[in-house]
Structure 1
Amino acid sequence: MKQITIAIDGFSSTGKSTVAKQLAKHLGYIYVDSGAMYRAVTWFAMQNQFIGASYFHIQDLIDHLDQISINFKFNPELGFAEVYLNGNNIEKDIRTMEVSSFVSPVAEISEVRKLLVKQQQKMGESKGIVMDGRDIGTVVFPDAELKLFMTASAETRANRRFQELISRGDEVNFEQVLHNVQERDFIDSNRKDSPLVKANDAIEIDNSNLSLEEQFNKILQLVENKQKEYK
């Protein structure tokens, strides 16, 4: 069966990465978490004191983008690829609330987006790829055979994120997480460069009341139907 490109966009904490990983594993496709790439750039900016609670030295970050090398390495024990920045595994480092609070402003920068979109498009040249993010179906792969747009209520998404952070031992409160989700929604949807919008030909999946199994089965059926069209 012919390999296709699957583009999954949507708001933060809608489970895009979870279902993308499931699909890639089931189909034998390459999985790319584009959001992790923006988190990696954010982590780089934080480590170099380009961004903090009271400052953001945008030009300094832009001037150092040529020092950023991001790649993914499959971890067989985890069953998915982890993110590496300049040869160092930063998978756990980029999943904190602190990184979450800075990633949307970093992702607004056109130079950052151009750099990562170019890398993402190269990764998908041979098809057989599942990529999730904010602009995959609209900018990165506008000709993707299957485009999905994931959504859920802000409260539902905040609760998922809250439970995830608590299970890792992070000290956070629900209101803090909800505020972060709502703030990221606003920034992602209103930025000038590649805002988060549903592609005209994307299929919307509201998973507020879907279990992971129900969601996977629903989306897998869409994938299989699309694959049949391109046999």
Structure 2
Amino acid sequence: MISTNRIIIAIDGPAASGKSTTARRVARQLGYTYIDTGAMYRSVALKAIEGGLLESIRRDPGQVASILEGISIRFEGERILLDGRDVSREIRDNRVSREVSFLSSLKPVRDCLLVMQQALGRGRGVVMDGRDIGTVVFPDAELKIFLVADARERARRRLLELQAKSEGKTALPDIETLEREILERDRADAEREHAPLRKHPDAVEIDTSKLDIDQQVEMVYRLARKTEAAG
């Protein structure tokens, strides 16, 4: 049953902690809209990579404005469209994973996507996941969740995800490489100047290291229903 007291649910956490899968399934169960903000940052990174602009932006971060001007990022169900093109698969490529922290650390990128994200959530009844949803995008969200998991488990999940998508057609990094990349991304996300990864004081922390996806979805779903009822 869809509640008449629709809320905003902010799910934050580091890479591969289960944010996106949990948020997507909770939104489906609640009849809410799911907004994958990580996919939005990945779309910007993909545009920089495909345009051959990554190195010039590294030398002069102000050049990122050329990517952001007129950019269109839209959601159609579980598809994400970048300038009208479905990039749902491309943005999950490991090359994008390696570069997204750098692009997302730039203030013009964060400012541009912040406006988009707040507009998407304004009607409430949304589940939004990312790294600064509860602290910057929607600090007044009625339910804030912070998912964590140990680095090796997150690397294992990322490897399984890459294996499923490659279907054995491409060589994949080993788990040690993925773990190093995840730890480096954790460091970059926590230390960036603009909107670093932080747990909001009101957020409920859930360690997913030993939980399967059904268990963590159920935990967040129950918290959401309780929060709806309290409102």
Please give the TM-score of this superposition, normalised by the length of structure 2. 0.93
1:24-63 equivalences in 2 (<5 Å): 24-51=27-54, 57-63=60-66
1:136-151 equivalences in 2 (<5 Å): 136-151=133-148
1:153-168 equivalences in 2 (<5 Å): 153-168=150-165
> Any stretches of 5+ residues in structure 2 without a counterpart?
none
Measured after TM superposition, the shift of residue 164 of structure 1 is: 1.1
1: CA distance between counterparts of 2:184 and 2:86?
28
- CA gap of 1:101–1:66, structure 2 versus 1, over 3 A, is same
Give CA-to-partner distance per residue, 1:89-117, whole Å, 9 cap, x none. Answer: 01100101100000000000000000001
2:118 equivalent in structure 1: 121
1: CA distance between counterparts of 2:25 and 2:46?
26
- Does the 8 Å contact 2:15/2:154 carry over to 1? yes
Give CA-to-partner distance per residue, 1:136-182, whole Å, 9 cap, x none. Answer: 00000010000000000011101100111122224221122111101
CA RMSD of aligned residues (A): 1.5
The number of residues matched between the two structures is 224
2:224 equivalent in structure 1: 223
2: CA distance between counterparts of 1:82 and 1:52?
28
Question: Secondary structure in 1 aligned to 2:200?
Answer: coil
2: CA distance between counterparts of 1:64 and 1:83?
17
1:77 equivalent in structure 2: none
2: CA distance between counterparts of 1:142 and 1:17?
19
- Aligned AA (2:16): S
2: CA distance between counterparts of 1:92 and 1:163?
15
**Higher mean C-alpha displacement, 166-175 vs 214-223:** 166-175
1:168-183 equivalences in 2 (<5 Å): 168-169=165-166, 170-171=170-171, 172-183=173-184
- Aligned AA (2:222): Q
1:73-92 equivalences in 2 (<5 Å): 73-74=76-77, 81-92=78-89
Question: Secondary structure in 2 aligned to 1:67?
Answer: coil
- Aligned AA (2:229): K
- CA gap of 1:148–1:119, structure 2 versus 1, over 3 A, is same
1: CA distance between counterparts of 2:208 and 2:56?
33
